[in-house]
Amino acid sequence: MSVLKPTSYQRPFLKWAGGKFRLLPRILKVLPEGNKLIEPFAGSGALFLNADYDRYLLADINPDLIDVFNHLKKGKTSFIDYCAQYFTDQYNNQKTFYELREHFNQLKPGKERAALFVYFNRHGYNGLCRYNRSGGFNVPFGRYKKPYFPAREMELFAEKAKRAEFRCQSFSKTMAHTRKGNVIYCDPPYLPWSLTANFTSYSQQEFSLDNQRELALEAKKLAKRDVPVVISNHDTDFARLIYAKAKDLQSFPVRRFISCDGAGRNNAQELIVVYRK
């Protein structure tokens, strides 16, 4: 696998909270050689776009995300043109946004719902992807003057997708069907800094501390079968505990943007963990 130069990194077409675009140099540096890259937490696909393997499997439990990827892979230019209709002044206002959001929440999976997911990603507040307990998409209007339509980024994603498979499934199911020659990169919902202070908001992500432990144990098992696993997470005491059996742990500061003003920006410690035989 070749590591691309920073100047040649391809941006994903989706904005994504916790996306790994800025961490690509560090992640690509530790990714082992292999014939297939498997990502049980697909996100925006930033790593997929910039890593060089023969084949790829991207999975996620968000059906809207995987549906968009599959529609783009299948429809290519026609799907991109279909999405473009929503990126005009006619659709960039609060009233229309909320009408489309209500319509989206009534739609079944299909081309229209997939295109609206792209629309919300660029017109919604801060590129968030959030659902209420009933499964309704509930991100508020973002109030952007002219949201960017990522036509070029979608074209490049569709081209790379020729070598990829996209599945809506759990991380455990994705990791269970791996074999020697595969390389796994996991970007799970991150651990909270304080388990006491953040437990409630963290549990709403439906990725519990037991899930975090399960992921670490599965990575250890796969490494013994000669399937290397790389994991990103916050560098916390709990992370150090569950990743204690990893071969390599790298900690470094990452700039976080937690506020609209500069005073609300600070550094957080990131952890990249490598399990290998």
Q: Is 210 annotated as a binding residue?
A: no
Contact 250, 233 (CB under 8 A): no
Q: Is 60 annotated as a binding residue?
A: yes
Side-chain half-sphere CA neighbours of 78 within 13 A:
6
**Closest Cα to residue 275, out of 224, 206, 204?**
224
Q: Is 187 annotated as a binding residue?
A: yes
DSSP assignment of the chain equals -PPPPGGGPPPPSS--TT--GGGHHHHHHHPPP-SEEEESS-TT-HHHHH---SEEEEEES-HHHHHHHHHHHHHTHHHHHHHHTTSSGGG-SHHHHHHHHHHHTTPPSSHHHHHHHHHHHHHBGGG---B-TTS-B-PPB---SS----HHHHHHHHHHGGGEEEEE--HHHHHHT--TTEEEEE-PSPPPS-TTTTHHHHHTTT--HHHHHHHHHHHHHHHHTT--EEEEEE--HHHHHHTTT-SEEEEEEEEEE-SSSGGGEEEEEEEEEEE--
Q: Is 237 annotated as a binding residue?
A: no
Q: N- to C-terminal Cα distance for the chain?
A: 19
Q: How many CB atoms lie within 10 A of CB 119?
A: 22
Contact 91, 97 (CB under 8 A): yes
Which residues belong to the annotated binding site for S-adenosyl-L-methionine?
16, 20, 60, 187
Which residues belong to the annotated binding site?
16, 20, 60, 187
